[in-house]
Structures are given as structure tokens and as C-alpha cells.
């Protein structure tokens, strides 16, 4: 940030440039900013001199961005949007209001939504804003209070509390199981249509790894149905498209309802888990603390209940 102060004339120059570039008018930018048109023109000219390039094409009664100006406007807009979102989230967090939770689409659909009524009953004044992504976003940079993360508990930039362990079994719809007949062991799955999870940014277990855990080693599982989102994997299994890996905290309820079947007793347990995380140096609002504590309690209680039933 110290270098940035020496790179531009002032922070005000960026606000002036953003308004002029967005409105393509020095006059309209002046009205929006509450300054004179001459002040806007001077600020832009000083910024251009400092950068050593022209940011605007100035024609008679027409203003347009140069190629460099377009690129600079894009970057300035992104930066200001991040700052604005962070400020709004901080203000909301101190005034009360919603808490932003980053989670996978599958977690939001198959764990959180079925339990939302319980949370609302306990915390009727706390609203949740769920942000689903296909990668683990930087919570602090995006102004997000809480995230659900998979991995060993060694995040340098986050504080965390344990949610549940990772346990994965083979699951499919009752109709699909009738089609393929009885399955007596992990090797029988090679004759089934397997549904694969191929997330582009997060490492996930493969069928090869799962099968090798139970003695089916040295096989390349290259056929089946491939999905880049676990919510789609679950949906495909529910529709009878094949056998999916069932992460216990997301599919146990579907098994209990009879929508999915746990085909084999074999369950792969790894040395990683799922955690509720938040930026290490943030002071969470009381609403965010309420959601964090509820998530941790629910996850731990469900895990303890599973252990008692096995």
C-alpha cells in the first residue's frame, strides 16, 4: 500500500477517474462527486501525467476511453467493488443483519437447507447469505464471515472449529440397485456405471482411491459419468444414473429417507475433516458467532449420533 501511494497522485484521483469513465462525462462526474467540472478535468489530467498515458479520447462533445483507459477502468472497478462489499459487510455485521457463509453447492442443498428451520427457530433475527462456489475463496478478500472447508486443520490464514470427519461410502438409488442386482463387495462396483466428481479447484477423492482402500488396486476407472460439482453427483445418483461416492454428512439423510441406498458396509475414513473457518484476525459479529456455534454443534451432535448407531 505504501508503494501505491507513490504510484498515483491521490486516492481521490481514482474516485474521479472511476466516475468519469463510468459516465463518460466530466460534467456528469462533477455533478455526482459534488465538485466543479474543472476540478474533474484537472484531476484526470494530473492522473494521466502521472501515469504517462492518455486515459480518455477527447473529441468535440464526446468522451471515450482509450484502450489503456478501458483496462485501467476495469481494474479500478474491481478494486472498488471489493472495498465497497467489504465495507457493507462490516457495517452490516456491526448493525446486525445477515451473515455470509461460503460453502459448496452440495453442502448448501443437502446439509444446510434441510436444517434452516431449526436455525431460524433458535436465531430468528439472524439472516444467512449463502455464497456457493466451486473453489475455496479467500474469505477476508471477499468480505465473507464464515466458510466450510475440507482439509487438515492447519490453515495459516484462518481460525477454525471442527465440524465433522470425512467418511465416504458407495451409494445409489434403489431403482439402480435393482437394475444391477446384488453387490457383495467393492470389486462388484467395477461392473456398475460410476459417477465421478472432478472438481477443478479442490482436491477430492477418486474412485481409484476409494476402491484401493478396500483391496481393489491397480485399476483405472475411466468410464462412467463425470461431474464437476458434487451437488450434480448426488442429483445424478438420485435419478438412477449410477453409483456415487456418498460423503456421509451430505448423503446420510437421503439414505435414511430411502432415496439413496448405502450399497456396501465399507466406508472409507480419511485423515482430514470438515471445519467451520473464518479469517484469523477478524472479530466476528454476534450473529456470525451464533451461526458458527450452531454449525459446530449440529455437526458434532450428528457425528456423535452416527457413532452411537454403528
Q: Are 83 and 20 found together in one domain? A: yes
Domain ranges, residue 116: 94-164+274-309
- Domain with 15 in it: what CATH number? 1.10.10.10
- Domain with 156 in it: what CATH number? 3.40.190.10
Instruction: Sort strands 261-279 and 146-151 into parallel, antiparallel or unpaired.
Output: antiparallel
CA distance 19 to 42: 14
pLDDT at position 7 is 60
pLDDT at position 11 is 77
CB 111 within 8 A of CB 250: yes
Question: How many residues belong to the chain?
Answer: 310
CA distance 86 to 92: 10
Chosen domain end from 64, 88, 112? 88
Domain count within the chain: 3
pLDDT at position 1 is 45
pLDDT at position 251 is 96
CB atoms within 10 A of CB 267: 16
pLDDT at position 169 is 96
Q: What are phi and psi of 130, to 5 degrees?
A: -95, 125
CB 40 within 8 A of CB 31: no
- pLDDT tens for the chain, 310 residues: list them: 445 555 666 778 888 888 899 989 899 999 988 889 999 999 889 888 888 899 999 888 788 999 998 998 888 888 777 777 666 666 555 555 678 999 999 999 999 999 999 999 999 988 899 999 878 888 887 888 999 999 887 788 899 999 999 999 999 999 999 999 889 999 999 999 999 998 877 778 889 999 999 988 877 777 889 998 999 999 999 999 999 999 999 999 999 999 999 999 999 999 999 999 998 888 888 899 999 999 999 999 988 887 777 6
Q: Give the residue from 243, 251, 245 showing the smallest Cα distance to 173.
A: 243
pLDDT at position 148 is 94
Side-chain-facing half-sphere of 229: CA atoms under 13 Å: 14
Q: Are 27 and 121 found together in one domain? A: no
pLDDT at position 88 is 63
Chosen domain end from 43, 63, 88? 88
Amino acid at each position: 500500500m505504501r508503494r501505491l501511494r507513490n504510484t498515483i497522485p491521490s486516492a481521490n484521483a481514482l474516485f474521479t477517474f472511476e466516475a468519469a469513465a463510468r459516465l463518460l462525462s466530466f460534467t456528469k462526474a462533477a455533478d455526482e462527486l459534488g465538485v466543479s467540472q474543472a476540478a474533474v478535468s484537472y484531476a484526470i489530467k494530473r492522473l494521466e501525467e502521472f501515469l504517462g498515458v492518455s486515459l480518455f479520447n477527447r473529441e468535440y462533445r464526446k468522451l471515450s476511453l482509450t484502450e489503456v483507459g478501458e483496462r485501467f477502468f476495469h481494474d479500478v472497478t474491481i478494486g472498488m467493488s471489493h472495498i465497497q462489499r467489504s465495507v457493507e459487510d462490516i457495517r452490516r455485521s456491526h448493525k446486525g443483519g445477515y451473515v455470509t457463509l461460503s460453502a459448496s453447492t452440495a453442502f448448501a442443498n443437502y446439509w444446510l437447507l434441510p436444517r434452516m428451520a431449526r436455525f431460524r427457530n433458535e436465531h430468528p433475527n439472524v439472516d444467512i447469505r449463502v455464497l456457493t462456489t466451486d473453489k475455496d475463496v479467500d474469505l477476508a478478500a471477499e468480505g465473507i464471515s464464515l466458510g466450510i472447508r475440507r482439509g487438515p486443520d492447519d490453515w495459516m490464514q484462518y481460525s477454525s472449529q471442527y465440524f465433522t470427519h470425512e467418511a465416504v461410502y458407495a451409494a445409489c438409488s434403489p431403482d439402480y440397485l435393482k437394475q444391477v442386482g446384488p453387490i457383495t463387495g467393492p470389486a462388484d462396483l467395477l461392473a456398475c456405471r460410476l459417477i465421478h466428481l472432478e472438481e477443478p479447484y479442490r482436491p477430492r477423492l477418486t474412485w481409484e482411491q476409494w476402491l484401493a482402500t478396500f483391496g481393489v488396486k491397480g485399476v483405472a476407472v475411466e468410464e462412467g459419468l463425470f461431474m464437476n460439482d458434487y451437488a450434480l453427483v448426488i442429483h445424478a445418483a438420485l435419478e438412477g444414473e449410477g453409483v456415487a461416492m456418498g460423503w456421509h454428512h451430505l448423503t446420510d439423510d437421503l439414505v435414511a429417507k430411502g432415496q439413496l441406498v448405502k450399497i456396501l458396509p465399507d466406508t472409507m475414513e480419511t485423515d482430514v475433516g470438515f471445519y467451520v473457518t473464518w479469517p484469523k484476525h477478524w472479530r466476528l459479529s454476534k450473529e456470525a458467532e451464533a451461526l458458527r456455534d450452531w454449525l459446530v454443534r449440529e455437526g458434532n451432535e450428528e457425528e456423535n449420533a452416527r457413532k452411537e448407531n454403528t
